[in-house]
Structure 1
Amino acid sequence: MDEEEGDLWKQFPEHGDEGSDGEDLSGPSQILSDSYLIGFVIANIVGLRYYSGTINGRELVGLVREPLNPYDPNAIKVLNTRTVQVGHIERAAASVLAPLLDSRIISAVEAIVPKPPPGGRNPYRLPCQIHIFALPDAIPTVQCAIMDGGLHLFTPDDHEFGLSESVIVKETTSTNASKERRRIDDIFALVGKDGKQIEALDPPKNVVLTDLFPHQKEGLGWLVFMENSQDLPPFWQQKNGHYLNVLTNHQTNERPEPLRGGIFADDMGLGKTLTLLSLIAFNSSVKDVEQSSSTKKRRVGNKKQKTGVEKDDSLLNGKAMILGLKTTLVVCPLSVMPTWISQLEQHTKPGNLQVYLYHGERTKEVEVLMRHDIVLTTYKTLAFELTSQRSPLMEIEWFRVILDEAHVIKNFGSRQTKAVVELKAERRWVVTGTPIQNSSFDLFSLMAFLRFLPFSIKSYWQSLIQRPLDQGNPSGISRLQALMASISLRRVKGIQNGKGSLVGLPPKCVKTYLVELSSEEREQYEKMESDAKNTLMEYVNDDTVLRNYSTVLHIILRLRQICNNVALCPSDLKSLLSSNSLEDVSKNPELLKKLASMLEDGDDFDCPVCLSPPTKTIITCCAHIFCQSCILKTLKTLNPRCPICRQPLSKSELFLAPPPKASDENPITEFSGMPVSSKTLALLNLLQESRREKDSTKSVVFSQFQKMLILLEEPLRAAGFRFLRIDGSMTMKKRGEVMKAFESYGPNSPTVLLASLKAAGTGINLTAASRVYLVEPWWNPAVEEQAMDRVHRIGQQEEVKVVRLIVKDSIEERILELQGRKKKLAGVVFRKKAAREQREMRVDEIRTMLCL
């Protein structure tokens, strides 16, 4: 390895620690869905006099592991329903449970404090039942460890188990459990049944110049109502001068704060950004009216107006300083920033709403930011500043925080999710047209940001929502629907009660075009699939699929790439289909480079810990791939090991994957002169047919593989198409230039945009086009919907035709089958009638991919 490569593969620095000192022990959704409640142990909560948290009745409590506790490395702290610490699990029990939790032999624990005895409670200790979940193959190990540790495990077969508080944790068909489930279901059924009518509102005309559609006015009315309502939060009641959470039985003398926010989940393309700008303008206008006459004189005295978007630290006029008292922080992906700026310029009166772009070079002065109405930043910037010694974003108590494209934070363990959860704000809004992308557990991060108790505590989310869903219990969906109805607004663009489209959009037609591989391509595909099946069967027979999880993902990636073009897939694939013996990548730089190459090729790798795409990708010495935050959290244990293969692991054995290469406007690749693939020929035929119908028709071609977009350039040029390319390696300025050029019309204007799903799949407006081509299927149907609706949105004048290119008799057809499972859940969450969720089982999905 030469010096340049050595710099590229620098080992992960010791100071790159992420995450908090504590970890919620309720476990990730997918692991819990395959886990079983094996029983409970009784342990005391101690140290009650040292903490302010209280337990008033029979309550679920949260357990948080504290591996860095200076007094006890086995410490497990206990939180009540309002996330206030009550105490710690006593040392004797913690010393048995902590090693099992750290090694992930136990997949989750949940605790409940029983009803107090008639004589009251001991002021120094409080008994609780700790319910233990584990995967089937780990159950004997857990049982032995608990017995050897001197704890008694009450199993579901014990008489005491049925008489305990376990009916709250495990919903079975027993009489007690059925009563408890009906009680909880009845509570959910009453939520949001107050029948209040929300008034449609117009934004202040002196700020917003554009007339809103009726649905946008209704949306503005709902946003304003939610922010200003003085009602108790959902699931709270006032009884005898006290306030009771009817789900958790937590009682307090303090009136809970109103929620003041929620989930704005309108379909993509319905103008959510303009509605939110109207909300900001509405509050600013109200503030203007409330100012004293002396304040008004001060504002009038300075007539000089700044431009709408600021990026300097200069003092602003008096009006901006007044409006700055209600500063809104907007967090969004970098690709969405230009949309906010263009919407502001297009729809608001210049100078009325002052915006500061907190990106790149930026101020550290709180006072400067507070002079603006809107501070616009990115998730990555916010995540970077999470551990900064002085970040104004984290210091300010914002009047309002808006998370745009909020599905970005679906991974609760990621650094950017932790950053947004820690923001201080009076009002909190989640904005996304696809709140569920992979599973219902995506919603938990949104609850944590909204601070919607008790659902913002993972153990409550798991017991009340997630477990009924994972177990296929019909009450799971009905509860989730009731919950979402109480805090969200969702409208879609399609036919509404037989009355036509909500905003009069032209229709969208989605078709699947089956591609036949050539005989040569079919031969290569079948050979590769045969090798992949044989390798996977070895893993299945040896029960090592998860241990070789990264290798399996590589296999599937290459099968998908060969469907696009054999040039994308290296000829030495078989070298990656290694045996079960572990290779040390630190001693095998060639293997390390191959792993990096595959990471560069594929955007949809999932971290095996959080089951989400990694933001900063780490490759371990044992050739497994994780999020930076996930693997660092895993190493904060007494005996750190790789979560996949269980090999000992340290920070010095982690390697940071290189960042994406900078975009080249005129790429010179090894692909020049390569034969045109069957899928490329199919795409060219479709584009030419569209051009024959109308030569000015513009098309967007989406692919997740940047190299595929480059491969398409030469055939498009040879066929006489004028095209542009936009991908994730481009700067915001370059993307803006490409977008502006694509929107132009004239004899030499481009008619085809080659776009990566990562760069152009969310938050941008592509209504200049009316044709969409998806070169390959995406794992996540919500991502495809986002991409389609860049074109099918307000402003579109023509019928939108979407074509999905799918290779016949291939892994791509099987991906379409799996998409249906995720669509089913996302489709029923906002409905009134309950449906049953199909559990996602990742190993079974892999077997389906390869027809095993």
Structure 2
Amino acid sequence: MRGGVPQPWSAGKEAGGAPRAKPVNRNSKRLLVYVLDVSSTLNQNQVVIDLARRQRRPAGDWGPLKPWWHAPGSPHAKYEPEDRDLLALLEETQAAAVANGATMGDPMMGTRRYVLRTNQALIVEKLARSGRLRLRRTEGEDDPPTMRWDDGPAWRFSLDIRPELGGKRWSWRGSLRRGDNRNDRMDLAEPLVLVPGLVIQGIGRASRFDDVGVMPWIVRLRHEKEIVFAEPQQDIMIGRILAEARVSPAELVETIQFEEIDTPPRPCLTLRTPRQNWGPGSDRLLAELEFDYNGALIPAGRTTPLAVSTELGLIIRRNPQVEAQADILLFELGFRESKDPRVEPGTMELPPKRMGQVTRDLVQVGWRVEAEGKLIRPAGEFKLAVTTGIDWFELGGQVDYGDQSLSLPELLEAVRRGDSMVTLGDGSMGMLPEEWLKKYGMLVDLGTSEDGHLRFGNAQAGLLDALLAAQPEIRVDSAFEKVRKSLHKFEGVRPVDAPAGFHGELRPYQREGLGWLDYLQKFDFGGILADDMGLGKTIQVLALLQKRRARRLAKGPSLAVVPRSLVFNWMQEAAKFTPRLKVLDYTGPGRHALRDSFSAHDLVITTYGTLRTDIAELSQLDFDYVILDEAQAIKNADSQAAKAARLLRGRHRLAMSGTPIENHLGELWSIVEFLNPGMLGSSSVFKKHTGTGGNLDDSDRSLLAKSLRPFILRRTKAEVVKDLPEKTEQTLHCDMEPAQRKLYEELKAHYRTALLRKETSELNRSKIEVLEALLRLRQASCHPGLIDPTRTAEPSAKLDMLLPQLSEVVEEGHKTLVFSQFTSFLAIVKDRLDKEGLRYEYLDGRTRNRADRVERFQTDPDCPIFLISLKAGGLGLNLTAAEYVYLLDPWWNPAVEAQAIDRSHRIGQTQRVFAYRLVCRDTVEEKILELQQKKRDLADAILNADKSIIQTLSREDLEFLLT
């Protein structure tokens, strides 16, 4: 009572159940009072206690409540024992509250104490039992009432859930209940204060409160009075609150009776295709994963351990291990979470091609798979048959789906539409046989649809045969069976001896090559001779042409299209090995006059440049064989050379290339289309399967390899090493372009005039001038840049021949030495290699770390080329990793050249070595070689390792060199 004398308090209990506090010492001049401030408590969601005191008046009564400033940590000794205990308890909980940031920035810090949420019921109970805890319900209340502690059972939160609108939405309300029968009830909005562990009613009665672990829901329900969830959200939310609650569902929710189950789920996968109007990126399947718990479907991705089906009255204790294993399995099978904002979170994607195998895998381990609400059936057995027409083969049949079936035309139409499933007769969905299509999809695309069948041309017999090899149950008619047998004869190709009129001896693998060429000829197939460089592809073809001439099989001349740098070598090889062949060089400005004489020759040799220029005339002629050497020149199907080659008319066609595929499989299409038109279908279909990177998947690659195997013959050096001599040397003749030829002829004319006008005696004293003349002419033969440094970017005959061959050798996985006497020429070669992206090592007389460079070339597989100056590297190096040697310029002394070649061919070399000497035609280089040969018999006396041929040059020799 305000201003009244306090009544004596006894130790008995008040009506509220709390024991009375001990009477205040009548000698005390002040009384401590603890005030629970409702407004601050509600704002902080935790109990806030204000310290106050009352001063005894002279009349003996107590004055009004006044705030009491008591700094935290101040001594308590001068207060009553009970107050000392209470203050100490408040100090302790205040320290914990400060640590949690509850009092930061509070100007009333000295008079206010914050109670840690976990201690709220304990602190309020002790303060209430002191009899000096007041409840300030409104700000400015002068004489707040005393709070009483209720010793009854704790109040507990209860959730009322009721359906509305026939179950389309659900209403949630909360209440407080206590007692064994929960008859004592209180509306959730009734308490003046409701914080964790404590409920305070407006009459000043405080009680314990059990929020059962769902305090955030209680706060929301007190604020909103009612929460309404639509039907789809209801089960999610009830599952979430039940998972958070510390009590059983029956204790939390009384209005619905739930049955709790704990059983392993069955994964269920629903697949669907995106909407048709989604445009790019819709070539995929969307997937949603659910788990069937006794008929209740629980979507994957929910984080709560409990799931609820209100409709079925089930509370499901989820099995996280089984669900996690299902997620892992889907990831391993290729499913990925969709990043598309147009689909629901958690939706997954799968490439349509994987659907068949994925569905089979999932069904086998007990999954249920549906698409658009329809049961999915995996494809079963194929029933296929091949029939033969005049110049075509047809593939027809059906695929079974249990008691349903799908004809091959329907299957192919679905494939062309891009469907991943088809609707079967009973309304179920049949999965397209993705595994089968993965293996044979390219074959299917390479055929054309005709009257419910797939039609293939004669040239595509190999593709069909490759299919039959993996599908032995396919029925074939007798005509196609004969074709298959002829294809299989490739396995038994027999070596053929060199024909009459062939000069020289064919090695065993070359005789096998001639037998293979006979096989192609017999069945009118075109083929690619793809032996490693140096194995004599040209010789094998010349042997074939000589055989046809000897047996009078040729119907007109054959045409060989070769790079310009190889024209002379073809002529030279033909003269050496098949001298009876009448060979015509159809190049140069005067070639048009030779066209009428084609029929008088066995072989016409021309270049790709001439082919492009003269295709209008050449395409009107009939040739026995059309041969493309270095056929990678037509790798780009859209190039003028490729288009011109396809226009040529030949009874037989042949391609020669050590690297028919330089970059990607798309290049192979162009060569095969020249050889056997239509074999690989259209260019667009082939590109569709090889993709932008020009590569096939493993199954398509395997099919392509099997189908093309009879038409490509490739032997590597390693495979035929036993048939090769230890060392093979060959001179490659190069033809200068006009600009380089002009420079050479001007130099030659200058030195011829300057030197040959001198008398013999005077000439003998002019060896230095002679050496300079021969040096300059040899340099001009190599590259114009050796004469004029401003011309290093110009082409040269030797570079035009060298660089393609280096690329081929590197592509085949071999290593090469490149020698030159001129470091300036090697510098030009380095620049070209850099532009081609070819890695190399370099060594000349100024190189110091020779051993490191040799070691790198010998051991590093990514370093396939070694550029070496002849003087610096001709002696003392062991470079047995190299299988090819190029000498860019001939030296006077054959012994020096031999020493350079022997850097590779020496003890420790296990491979056969091919050495090539590059020589420009109609230059001093040719004359040097001839002079070497003429004086070879005098080598011991004149040409030894210490002397140069220049010491024995006569005037006649010089005239010979300068002509």
Q: Which structure's residues are more often strand, by fraction?
A: 2
Q: Which has the larger radius of gyration?
A: 2
Q: Pick 1 or 2: higher relative contact order, CA cutoff 8 A, min separation 6.
A: 1
TM > 0.5 between the two? Answer: no
Taking structure 1 as the reference length, what is the TM-score of the superposition? 0.35
Taking structure 2 as the reference length, what is the TM-score of the superposition? 0.31
